[in-house]
Structure 1
């Protein structure tokens, strides 16, 4: 299934490494992931503190409705091979693997810290540091790609998906975390929820899930804030105001878009 990021020949597992016919070798880390980033990977993506924050918040169960929707959509497609791109700390990847029968699951991300955490949670999943624009998988080898709040590289995804394979893209709805933005910004805009078009894919359907939740601790508010792009973009004064709060009612809204490979 996996291919060498240098020569694109098939990788074979040999003890604690993957090796191709040209002897390019990639060691498997103690936690279980493998680094297949071509060239020198200096590290990017979620750092340890962000992984900790994401894990803490997601384990509260506030996103349970969205997790179950992703499970239902994916299991209905009955994949034998699934790739979760931008998998982060593996929260959704691990749940999907546990719910899918006889499915080979791969998780891809650029963050070493995230995959260290993810691979310790479930040794059955193939966790890989890799570029989403050049997924180290054989052509037409994947039944379903799941993409939760990660970029889409249509060319790369199209190459690895089987004929009539599916992409499940999850993104924010128009009102997702609206109340948080009202704390952070004087002028608040709703999210752009237009259905994206990707070369080589046909949009099959959209499902929107909306839920009102309430964060009842400062730790929950800080953890969710650290998961969002607003953490890096917000004015210092308004970020400080949010970080001092102990209670925050929120609208959560996810758009699930299903695409079929042409």
Structure 2
């Protein structure tokens, strides 16, 4: 008989990832029925959808439920980012098995695609935005989804084999703490051509990633870099999803946002570097 989502999450914590820490006092959390509890009796319930909320206070972000639903459509149904995720899957398929932590997982599509495609890996997705974690838990059952502050992740040191960091801010000191001695960070950063059609329409310019890439090379021994460039034709539904999910729209002229959103079809460029580094 198939386990309910919260029961499956409890089993995953016990059997595959018994490394969660109390976000109040920092002590290790154990599982008692459907509740996480530490020695100081701080308690966190596993939600019905299997997600875990480990923030000590609710934080509002601009990343809303509607944004994450739009991102889920673009990344899953329209498969816009799939060529890059396929490269990540290709790399991981020949590595040792272990825990993959997606730092800044959003609505969870990327990590879910990785876990669905590989055997022997345990997936843990963490994001500050509760709406993203709720969407992830609704769509994807095979990953442990946690709402938490990534600057101080409630996870034991040296308990993670791989950290995914996809188009998200990074806290490299925290990444180094979380990784095992032979652990690796797989970071995806945009290149100059990433969403160039949208960027030129909004701002008349592209994007430069030299500062982001240099910071990664300073912190990690880079063993591999893979460039993925792919042009996809988006229909109007995918265009609307892109406009709604990207933070680029927050600072663009509203008239330009509306005119791009009204397009019936357009090409859109995926152009990213996948940086794979081991902690020094």
**Matched residue, 1:47:** 64
1:29 to 28, 47, 52: 47
Higher deviation after alignment, 13-22 or 191-200: 191-200
1:133 to 151, 154, 172: 151
* Structure 1 residue 14 corresponds to structure 2 residue 10: no
2:232 to 203, 213, 233: 213
1:178 to 187, 193, 196: 196
Give the alignment of 1:1-262 within 5 angstroms: 1-37=19-55, 39-44=56-61, 46-58=63-75, 59-185=77-203, 187-194=204-211, 195-198=213-216, 200-217=219-236, 219-262=237-280
Under a length normalisation based on structure 2, what TM-score does the superposition of the two structures give? 0.87
Kindly indicate whether the alpha-carbon contact (under 8 Å) linking 1:172 and 1:253 is maintained by their aligned counterparts in 2: yes
Kindly indicate whether the alpha-carbon contact (under 8 Å) linking 1:202 and 1:260 is maintained by their aligned counterparts in 2: yes
Q: Report the Cα distance in structure 1 between the residues aligned to 2:111 and 2:160, rounded to whole angstroms.
A: 15
Q: Report the Cα distance in structure 2 between the residues aligned to 1:244 and 1:120, rounded to whole angstroms.
A: 30
Q: Report the Cα distance in structure 2 between the residues aligned to 1:41 and 1:202, rounded to whole angstroms.
A: 36
Structure 1 unaligned runs (5+)?
Answer: none
Instruction: String of CA shifts for 1:212-235, please: whole Å, max 9, x gaps.
Output: 111122x21111122222110101
Shift of 1:32: 1.0
Under a length normalisation based on structure 1, what TM-score does the superposition of the two structures give? 0.93
Richer in helix (by share): 2
- Residues 78 and 227 (structure 1 numbering): CA distance in 2 closer, same or farther, change over 3 Å? farther
- Residues 15 and 123 (structure 1 numbering): CA distance in 2 closer, same or farther, change over 3 Å? farther
Give the RMSD, CA atoms, in angstroms.
1.6
Shift of 1:45: 5.3
Structure 2 unaligned runs (5+)?
Answer: 1-18
Secondary structure at 1:76 match in 2: coil
Instruction: String of CA shifts for 1:104-138, please: whole Å, max 9, x gaps.
Output: 22100112121112113333321111111111111
Secondary structure at 2:177 match in 1: helix
Q: Report the Cα distance in structure 2 between the residues aligned to 1:258 and 1:90, rounded to whole angstroms.
A: 20
